[in-house]
Each structure stands twice: as C-alpha cells, then as structure tokens.
Amino acid sequence: MSRRLRGRWRGGDGAAALLFLAPGAAGFALFYLFPFAMGLWYSLTDRTIGGRFVGLANYEALLASGSFRKAAANTLLFTGVSVPILIALSLGLALLLSRPLFLRRWLQTAFVLPLVVPVASVVAIWQIFLDWNGSLNAWLHGLGYGRIDWLQSDWAMPTLVAMYVWKNVGYDMILFLAGLLSIPQSYYETARIEGAGRLRQLTHITLVYLTPTTVFVILISIINSFKVFRETYLLAGDYPYDRIYMLQHYMNNMFFSLDIQKLTSAAALMVGCIVILAGSLLAAEKRFRSWME
C-alpha cells in the first residue's frame, strides 16, 4: 500500500473514530465538564445569579470555616489510613490466590461479592452488625464486655475504615491478580536457577513489575475512598459523629442550605487535591519506568 493510500486510510479511520466518540464526548461535556466549569465560576462570585467577581474571597472564607477544616482533616485521615491497609491486604490476597490453593475460585468469588451487593443492603448488614443491640455488641456482652456505640464514639473511624476495606478489597485483589498474570514466568524460572529465594523474587521481580498496576490501584482506591459518603450518610445521617464528618457531608449540607459558593469552592479544592495527587503518582511511576528501562 502506497504512502498516499495509507494516509487516506488513516484519515478515514480517524474520522470514523471521532464519529463514534462524539456521543460519549458530548455527554461527558454536557453533564461533567460544563457543570464543573460553572461551579468554578460560581466559586469566584458572591452569588449564583447576577453575582459579581470576588476572586478568592470564597476560598478564604472556606478555609476559615471550622467545620470545613474538620471535614478535610477527617477525609485526609480516612484516606491516609484506609488506602494503605486496603492495598496491603488486597496485594497479600492476590499473592495468596495466585498460587494453587484449595477452593481458590470460590474464595475469589467470595471476596468480589461485596462489589455487586447494593449499597442499601451493605448498610443494612453493617447496621445489624454494629447496632447497640446488634450482633457484635451481643457477642461482647456474652463475653462479659460492655456494649459500644460504634458509630457515636472514637470507634467510628475504625468502623468506617473496616467497612471500606471490606467492600473494596475484592476489586483491588482482582486488579492485582491481573497484574500478576502479566509477569512472564520465565523471570521466576531464571531467578530460581540463579538461586534466588521467594523473598528475593517478591522484592526484585513481583513488586517491581507490579509497579504500574500498583499505581493504578492506588489511584482507584483513593477515588473510591472519596465515595464512602453514601455508606456513611445511610449509617449516620447528615451530621454524624465528629470523627466521620467528611468533606462530602460538608458539601451535602452546603447544598441543602443553598450556600452554593462554599459548596463549589469545597468541590474545586477537593478536585484540585485529587488531580495533584494523581499527577504526582503518575509522574513517579513514569520516572520509575524510565529508570527500569
């Protein structure tokens, strides 16, 4: 095929690809990009309709708000604690289930099941388990210990972390399993021939070649940690215990009070933090990949 015909073929493929992508791109722009751009503009004005430009005044008022600082600190604490636990647990399970194991398929299915259970059902299960008269307190009472109000005490944050890990560990485990399957077995065979033990194979082969998968799983886990609002809202309502009052609670309450300026400013700050964190992780992964090459 000549270069001229090849260029026409590529041009035709490009036009066809754009044609197929157009409906999805239009929907994404209409329901995500335009509303986000409008939100950014509202965060720089003093009111929604007929407002005047006030610059960063809304952000200054937001940062001065005690409830916002509390929500931001709780959100950062939750993400900083739950994501490392989730990554470590899901990676360990993936390494375990990648080996020949009795009932391996059944175990994989059992870990993935929480993903397909509706959120309302998940909350109902945890409410039965964590209620003052629930199963966990009944077991503690039977063992001679006092009952604990799990969602209205300092146990609220560990409880929320446990629920988040329980619901998402199966998804991350499947991603790690896919990454493990992409590592050529010849690398391990060569390492065994050269006398490398299992620990050396893990640190110098498995974890190294799992780096792209690990970065992706960390990003997905961080994003999912910001979606825990649904479970917390159904469990504890609009104003939960202080330890689990998240940024999503703050923005939800600002929406009900029609304080659009604080709502959009908080949303912009949260998106900015996520973008910076994602960019940093991707840049680190790119540098690591170039170093490996």
The CATH number assigned to the domain holding 267 equals 1.10.3720.10
Decide if pLDDT at 36 tops 90.
no
Instruction: Tokens 């409906």: give the residue.
Output: 23
In a domain, 251, yes or no: yes
Q: Is 53 helix (H, G, I), strand (E, B) or coil?
A: strand
Closest to 81 measured CA to CA, from 248, 242, 221: 221
* CB half-sphere exposure, 145, CA atoms < 13 A: 9
b/e sequence 233-243, b meaning 16+ C-beta within 10 Å = bebbeeebbeb
In a domain, 185, yes or no: yes
| pLDDT surpassing 80 at residue 102 | no
Average pLDDT, the chain: 83
Instruction: Determine the Cα–Cα distance for residues 102 and 117; give it in Å rounded to an integer.
Output: 25
Q: Is residue 115 part of a domain?
A: yes
Q: What is the mean pLDDT of residues 108-128?
A: 78
- Does the pLDDT of residue 1 top 60, yes or no? no
Q: State the pLDDT confidence band at 3, using cuts at 50, 70 and 90.
A: low
Separation between Cα atoms, residue 196 and residue 206, nearest integer Å: 13
* DSSP 3-state of 45: strand
**Which of 132 and 73 is assigned the larger pLDDT?**
73
Please calculate the CA angle 223-91-287 and round it to the nearest 5 degrees: 65
Residue 266, pLDDT > 70, answer: yes
Q: pLDDT value at position 50?
A: 74
- Distance, in Å, from the CA atom of 191 to the CA atom of 207, rounded to the nearest integer, reads 14
Helix and strand totals (H; E) in the chain:
15, 0
In a domain, 45, yes or no: no
Confirm if 206 and 96 have CB atoms less than 8 A apart: no
* Domain annotation covers residue 206: yes
- The set of long-range contacts for 212-217, using a CB threshold of 8 Å and a minimum separation of 24, is 212/179, 212/285, 212/289, 213/175, 213/176, 213/178, 213/179, 213/182, 214/87, 214/91, 214/176, 214/179, 215/281, 215/282, 215/284, 215/285, 216/175, 217/87, 217/90, 217/172, 217/175, 217/176
Query: Under a CB-based contact definition with an 8 Å cutoff, are residues 198 and 130 in contact?
Result: no
Looking at residues 134-160, what average pLDDT do you find? 85
- Local confidence band at 10 (pLDDT 50, 70, 90 cut-offs): low
**Residue, of 168 and 133, whose pLDDT is higher:** 168
**Bridge partner list, 45:** 53
Residue 188: inside a domain? yes
Query: What local confidence, expressed as pLDDT, does residue 51 receive?
Result: 75
Mean local confidence (pLDDT), 162-191: 88
Does some domain include residue 132? yes
Per-residue pLDDT at 214 exceeds 80: yes
Give pTM, 2 decimals.
0.82
Range of the domain at 119: 65-292
The confidence band for 11, taking pLDDT boundaries of 50, 70 and 90, is: low
- Residue 253: which residues within 8 A CB-CB, separation 6 or more? 238, 239
pLDDT confidence of residue 291: 75
| Region 164-171 average pLDDT | 89
Would you state the pLDDT for residue 285?
81
Residue 83 clears pLDDT 90, i.e. is over it:
yes
242, part of any domain: yes
Question: Residue 9 — very low, low, confident or very high, per pLDDT cuts 50/70/90?
Answer: very low
- Mean pLDDT over 236-251 rounds to 82
| Number of independent structural domains in the chain | 1
Flag whether pLDDT at 93 surpasses 60. yes
Q: Which residues contact 111 (CB under 8 A, 6 or more apart)?
A: 93, 169, 170, 173
Q: Are 175 and 220 in contact (CB under 8 A)?
A: yes
